[in-house]
Structure 1
Amino acid sequence: MKKINVVGTSGSGKSTFSRMLADKLNYPHLEMDAMFWKPNWQESTDQEFFATLESKLADELWVLDGNYNRTVPIKWQHVDTVVWIDYSFSRTLYQAVKRAFLRSITKQELWPQTGNVESFRKSFLSKDSVILWTLKTYKSNRVRYQQAMSNPEYRHINFIRITSPKKAKAFVDKLGT
């Protein structure tokens, strides 16, 4: 495992897992949201986003955290491993709600030098709510990753499906032993 993409629905725990995995392997942790979001919640254009992504993925070792389905042709071109964090719907929704609540209270900047913080209003009362996004994409993400695992186009990829936090920890703990 040298080039790893960790995927999963928003709130699934992919960022937590990605950081844990990157730390264990001593690889750079690359967060797609940090590449995409500009200050004041401005989105990068696809041209900007794709160029940044291609530049970051030029290195030999990395753990890439994120979905962004439109980037699959770029990120999966040379990836050797995709780790799918596929926790239950109830677990994923609980984690998304808990994270949104905590972030709206702490006002922690999400990505360096963006000033982007989550607010209660944006998280719970907006059409752009990450919780609403989790509700809308959970099922379609599961279908997409199940299909990708059996797609001959991706036979060069080792797919690993992790279905619980306990299994995630065991997977990381087992590395390097």
Structure 2
Amino acid sequence: MKFINVVGTSASGKTTFARQLAKKLGLSYIEMDDLFWLDDWQETPDQEFFAKLQSQIDQAPRGWVLDGNYSRTLDLKLKYIDTVIWLDYSFSLNLYRSVKRAISRAVTQKRLWANSNNRENFKTSFLSKDSIILWMITHHAKNRKKYSDLMQNPAYQHIHFIRLTSPQQTARFLKQMAATP
């Protein structure tokens, strides 16, 4: 495991887990949301996004833990990935975490990523058609199908897929990981 992509539905804990895993394994950490989101919730155009991601990958030849789904980057990621860790938690847990996180972020107004000014508020978190909670609701089943299909696809059998289905299982997995010498 040197080139790892942590995937899962929004609020599954990808960022926290990926940071912890990267630290434990002595690998670089790459946060795709930070590469993708520009100020004021503007999206980075695909070619620029791909270039940013490639640059981060190139800066970590010894290995990295990449945090995020972003299907549009699949072709680029698959050139490198040897392991996909899928945080596949229940719909109810993801919904609970999405709501809890949205409330916390709206209250604290903490900047979400280093390279943008984006913050969440109650209007965008709960009342917008672009709400991350609504996104989680509409994409949970789609993500589950997408990653199940990817795991079964003969073209990707060279990739080690690890499916973690509970926070307890994820914590045990992380505890078992040892830092590389």
**C-alpha separation in 2, matches of 1:121 and 1:33:** 21
Give the superposed CA RMSD: 1.0
Gaps of 5+ in 1: none
**C-alpha separation in 2, matches of 1:16 and 1:102:** 16
Q: Aligned residue for 1:104?
A: 106
Number of positions where the alignment pairs a residue of Structure 1 with one of Structure 2: 177
2:91–2:140 Cα contact (<8 Å) kept = yes
SS at match of 1:57: helix
CA deviations over 1:37-96 (Å, ceiling 9, x no partner): 011111100010011111111222100000011111001221000000001110011111
C-alpha displacement at 1:7, in angstroms? 0.2
Amino acid aligned to 2:40: N
1:81–1:160 Cα contact (<8 Å) kept = yes
Amino acid aligned to 1:119: N
- Identify which of 136, 139, 143 aligns with 2:138: 136
CA deviations over 1:107-145 (Å, ceiling 9, x no partner): 000011411100110000000100000001000100000
1:11–1:99 Cα contact (<8 Å) kept = yes
Q: Aligned residue for 2:79?
A: 77
Gaps of 5+ in 2: none
**C-alpha separation in 1, matches of 2:158 and 2:172:** 25
Q: Aligned residue for 2:128?
A: 126
SS at match of 1:77: coil
1:43 aligns with 2:43: yes
Q: Aligned residue for 2:2?
A: 2
TM-score (normalizing by structure 2): 0.95
User: Structure 1 runs of 4+ off > 4 angstroms?
Assistant: none
Q: Aligned residue for 2:116?
A: 114
Amino acid aligned to 1:111: W
2:35–2:115 Cα contact (<8 Å) kept = no
Q: Aligned residue for 2:152?
A: 150
